[in-house]
Amino acid sequence: MKLLRANINQLISGVNACSLFSEKPLIHFYPEVEECPVCGSGLKIYKTRVKTVTTMDIGAFEAHETILECQNDNLFFPSKLLRSLVPAKATFGFDVIEYVGKALFIHCRNNKEIMLDLADKKNINISEGNISNLGRKFVVYLALAHRESRDKIKETMKQKGGYVLHIDGTCESDSPMLFCGIDGISELILDNVKIPSEKKELIVPFLQRIKKQYGNPVALVHDMGKGILAAVEEVFPGLPDYICLFHFLRDIGKDLLHPDNQAVAQSFQKHKIRSLLRQKAKYLEGKIENNKKHIEGFISDFKRGGMKEASCEYTPATATYILIHWALEFSKDLNGYGFPFDLSNLCFYQRLKTIHKQLARIKDIAHRHKTKNNRTLINVWTLLDGVMYDAALLEAIENLETKSMVFEKLRESLRIALPGGKNGINDNGDETDIRSIEKRVKDFRKWLTEDKVQNQKYAKMIEQIDKYWEKLFADPIEVETFHGTNKIAPQRTNNILEQFFRGEKRRLRKKSGTSSLSKSLKTILADTPFVRNLEKPEYVEIILDGCKTLAERFSKIDSKLVCQELGKQQKKQEKIIPEMRKVISSSNLPEKILTIFINESNFNANRHLRL
């Protein structure tokens, strides 16, 4: 028996995917015990079975397994060696599950790419449907390994002084919300859940689960959602609790600037300014693009800073064409923060105002030189003239400019998402200490309330600052670590989760090839974010628990637990009552449904007559 097992090991270790067989090889697998470990009696053959197994090293082969039985204790002994290669009642090995999972969730490859790659390089034939199934298995195995490693994860965080819990959720259109908790110190995903919305009663159980698993955090960071605030207050009362400054600024800015920004947008739509400018540019392009000599002459004039007499005829048209495109590329003035930090409508207006002024001067110069082909230039200037003297637009622009200056003062005070900054939505703020920031905000509030008129104009902004004051300024927290007393400064923003969600969405878009993620977020397993933890070597070492590979680690997890988890996930995603599926797939369904009501009506009519 021992010699036979050695031969099996030798066969498996000596075969690789490059060794192709004309037929599937047959490998025999026997239990590793010959006597019952309970009573010591000899084991009898219970049954033998053959199934096709596919691994990365061998490809597809026939596994002939002998199962032994202890008749005294009614115990059964399958082959541990086979169980280390492939899950019970499964075809594809743990190494195939690992390969497919990493290809899907780390390398963002789609099912077809993986299918072709496995067939070409590993001689493994697998359908796209099986790849999706193995991907789900990978996530479930990883989640179970994570759960079994919670105590070690908790101990690792404790050695660093604890954890700072960042919580946030993401969704698209009608998809459920993927809600995550992440440690701001180690940047490990701690837990995940899919919920319909950010209601308190849905978030509370999630936070209670995290509390049970990892204990109390040293602090929490999150946005200003009412559900989150209420849930945190219930589950973690009295703990240091902070509002993400970026979210705080964004919400205040939206309340302050949205009405006037919307008014500017509506004025632009009324004048159809963008579409009309593009039409004019397209028309001018048709007149200019084939005249290479003139284009070269204009570029030469542009570099010289002066215009030759010979180029006067076409230069106004070319200048108009270039200025239109310059106005339409207003996004270059933005800093990547999005509204309300970047005011795209205001930037566009400012560029329109500039080219309106320049076209007026070019029109006068062209008139003095009596140049031809100026009709489009005049038309564009006239179009802009109508926009520049729109009273409603001018009022909205004036309000937007005034309020945006106040908003920028608050940004300067909080030292985050600063005007002119280039970090965009990844901005975590500069290194200014929190007490200095608090003083700046106090000074800003005092300045804002000095003028009574201004006080009324910005009453809501002042109210928001006062409401969240205690949650804005996080002092460093003194904690006991493995190396002694240390101070932890909670991050001033929730960008760690915002960046995580953006990364997840990029991966999903890359894999699916579509910009809409509603379907992906509906079908994705809640525990999928755990895959991101595999980027952390410390985490990988913890969950491997002495194993060399994920495949080896997965083989130590009870496959029944995996089936149970997959069943739960399937049930959660099931939208149709299982018993009704056969009914729905029936032919002539609408007619049959109608027949039910007709027969019911006839039955009731006859019953009434009998009575």
Q: Per-residue pLDDT tens for 224-260?
A: 889 999 999 999 999 999 988 888 999 999 999 999 9
The answer to whether residues 274 and 185 belong to one domain is: no
Whether the CB-CB separation of 507 and 108 falls below 8 Å is answered with yes
Please give the full DSSP string across 42-92, using - where no structure is assigned: BPEEEEEEEEEEEETTTEEEEEEEEEEEETTTTEEE--HHHHHHS-TT-SB
514 vs 565 pLDDT, higher one: 565
Inter-CA distances, 233 with 170, 220, 237, Å? 21, 11, 5
The answer to whether residues 337 and 413 belong to one domain is: yes
Q: pLDDT at position 538, please?
A: 95
The answer to whether residues 169 and 81 belong to one domain is: no
Q: pLDDT at position 521, please?
A: 56
* CATH number, residue 173: 3.30.420.10
pLDDT band at 378 (very low <50, low <70, confident <90, very high): confident
The answer to whether residues 217 and 283 belong to one domain is: no
Digit-coded pLDDT (tens) for 194-232: 888 889 999 999 999 999 999 999 999 998 889 999 999
The answer to whether residues 361 and 299 belong to one domain is: yes
Number of domains in the chain: 4
Mean pLDDT score, 345-358: 93
Give yes or no for residue 1 having a pLDDT over 50. no
The answer to whether residues 232 and 321 belong to one domain is: no
Q: What is the C-alpha to C-alpha distance for residues 420 and 411, in angstroms, rounded to an integer?
A: 11
The answer to whether residues 377 and 450 belong to one domain is: yes
Digit-coded pLDDT (tens) for 4-18: 445 545 555 544 544
Q: pLDDT at position 429, please?
A: 58
Give yes or no for residue 77 having a pLDDT over 70. yes
The answer to whether residues 333 and 457 belong to one domain is: yes
**CA proximity to 425, closest of 243, 171, 246:** 246
Domain boundary among 109, 144, 179: 144
Q: With respect to residue 45, please indicate whether it lies within any of the assigned structural domains.
A: yes
Give yes or no for residue 586 having a pLDDT over 50. yes
pLDDT band at 295 (very low <50, low <70, confident <90, very high): confident
Q: With respect to residue 558, please indicate whether it lies within any of the assigned structural domains.
A: no
The answer to whether residues 354 and 434 belong to one domain is: yes
The answer to whether residues 321 and 464 belong to one domain is: yes
Q: With respect to residue 203, please indicate whether it lies within any of the assigned structural domains.
A: yes
Q: With respect to residue 225, please indicate whether it lies within any of the assigned structural domains.
A: yes
**Helices 375-388, 245-271: inter-axial angle, 10-degree rounding:** 120
- The parent domain of residue 76 ranges over 2-144
The answer to whether residues 380 and 405 belong to one domain is: yes
User: What percent of the chain lies above the pLDDT cut of 90?
Assistant: 45
